[in-house]
Every structure is written in structure tokens, then in C-alpha cells.
Amino acid sequence: MSFSDDEIERYARHLVLSEVGGPGQQRLKAARVAVVGMGGVGGPAALYLAAAGVGTLRLIDDDVVALSNLQRQVQFDTADLGRTKVGAGAAALAALNPHVGIEPVAERLTPGNAARLVAGCDAVIDGTDDFDARFAVNAACMAARIPLVSGALGRWSGQVAVFSGRPCYCCLVPAAPPDAETCARVGVVGAVAGVVGAMAALEAIKIVAGAGEALAGRLLVYDGLAGTARTVRIAADPACPVCG
């Protein structure tokens, strides 16, 4: 797989990295990554994946852009209000990097369509704020053996983890908590979404390029208010209905 002169200049800072170089950039160019949820996590993640030269990005979301989104969803601007998030997001990514193919899918991911929506992907980023969707994409990725990068945020903090076998997301969250906090209810600092989205993109880039050590089986917890981060090991649940 060759690069045009434009691509060589565009990806110059990757090409000189020993952990990426030409082979890693070729793997990025050949890859297809799905982003489930084009919101506060998925949007910034998609921007960095497009900038990195991931060959094809599949954007999955059934929502439209609202004014309250613009506080943290930096892939949109005021002119996008009322547009589908996948349509507006596709336009932003194409403007950033015309070498990237965009597959906008204006659907809500469910247990019934999850396997179809992630089929053919080399990695999936889940940035949704809905537990039913999180459980569905986890089951689909585990069945298809696709690495899943999970990002979540709220208030001043965020979390990122990678699931590529055992343990899986259901080992960490066996069931939706009855008192689950949403950003709409408790709020979130917009910049935290950018931090979590960038970290999720970084994990996907490492997985595809074969660089470094992914957060497989580990959860990175970021506290923006305290300015700290810690990583904890996730234990596999032998009774997990998905991977046990």
C-alpha cells in the first residue's frame, strides 16, 4: 500500500515514530474503525482517528445536533443544529482529512443490529451513554473477536478501558446500575469529553498500528478536578454470560 505525496507530508510525524513508521501507518490506512455514539466521547475520538489516517470510519448514531451538545461535542458547530450527528460528523471528518472514507449510519445500535453494525471492523469505540447499547456492542464485539474501546464520562471525570476477550465489559458492569448518572442530569465539563475521546482514539490507534500496550483488561480512571489518573485491573467474571 503506497502513500501519495500529500499523505506522506500529512502523516510525517507518524512516519518518523519508531512505533508506527511506514508499516504502522499502512495498517491504519487499511483499517476500518466503528465509532458508536457521535457525542462527547465519540466525536473527539473520530476527529483524532481521521487525523491519524484511519482508512475508513463507520459512524453510528441516530441523534441530531442540539445546542446543548456544542459545549463538549467539538466536531459540530452552530450551523450543524438540527442535522443528523452522523451527517454533520461525516462532513467535519471529510474536511479534516479527505483521504479517509466515512460510513455514516443513522441508526441506534441495539441487540438486533449490533452484529451487523460492527461487522468488518478492526476496532470499535463505544462512546454511548446508554447501557443497553453498551451491553449490545460488547456482546457483538466479543462474538466477532473485535477489540472494543469503551469510554465514559460524567461531571469532572472519565474512564477508558479496552476489552479484547476476557474480561469483557459485562465483567466490569454486569447490569445497568439503578441510579445511573447521566451528563444531562449531573452535568459534565466539556474538556473532560475531549480528554476521554482522545484517550479512546489513542487506544484504537495503538491496537490497529500494533504499537505499545493497549489497556486490555484494565480501566484508566481520570479525575479532572484533582488532576490525577490511575489504572486498575479488571477481574474476569467466571459466571459472565458473555465471556465466561
| Residues annotated as catalytic (active site), given as ranges | 183
| H-helix or E-strand spanning residue 104 | strand 101-105
CA 156 to CA 46: how far, in whole Å? 22
Tell me which residue has cell 449490545.
Answer: 136
Query: Radius of gyration of the chain from Cα atoms?
Result: 17
CA 116 to CA 135: how far, in whole Å? 15
Written as nine digits, the cell of 52 is 491519524
Nearest Cα neighbor of 208 from 139, 162, 168, 172 is 162
Q: Map residue 57 onto helix, strand or coil.
A: strand
Please answer whether residues 123 and 111 qualify as being in contact, where contact means their C-beta atoms are separated by less than 8 angstroms: no
CA 137 to CA 156: how far, in whole Å? 25
CA 214 to CA 34: how far, in whole Å? 17
Nearest Cα neighbor of 129 from 198, 208, 43 is 43
- Assess whether the previous peptide bond of 174 is cis (omega < 30° from 0): no
